Amino acid sequence: MPAAPSALSEDTATAKVARANWARFIKKILEVDPLLCPDCGGIMRIISFIEDQRVVRAILVHQSLRDLPKPRPPPVGAGADADYEFVPCED
């Protein structure tokens, strides 16, 4: 079982370094400061991280920021005489 993530909202030296590194990497890669509010330009702070992929996917789908993956089509040659049924699975 993976270890529980530590809260980065603490004012420990490790937490401060982690927050600074995260923001620096995002700024470098995306060329945008992730801690500047897009509305007012004020400085934001990280409250928490969500690492569970199912929770992240549910939030993105709920906010219409990510479409659900399309089910794979049946294999080529699967006709009416096929002896199996295509059932899409969820990740």
The pLDDT tens digits along the chain (91 residues) read 555 555 545 667 887 787 778 778 888 888 888 888 888 989 888 787 788 989 988 888 888 887 767 778 777 765 556 566 667 776 5
In a domain, 67, yes or no: no
In a domain, 78, yes or no: no
Q: For residues 73 and 88, is the Cβ–Cβ distance under 8 A?
A: no
Residue 12: enclosing H or E segment and its boundaries?
A: none
In a domain, 1, yes or no: no
Boundaries of domain holding 33? 13-62
In a domain, 40, yes or no: yes
Domain count of the fold of the chain: 1
pTM equals 0.36
Q: Which residue in this structure is represented by tokens 């530590």?
A: 6
Residue 52: C-alpha distances to residues 58, 60, 66, 68 (Å): 10, 13, 16, 17
In a domain, 38, yes or no: yes
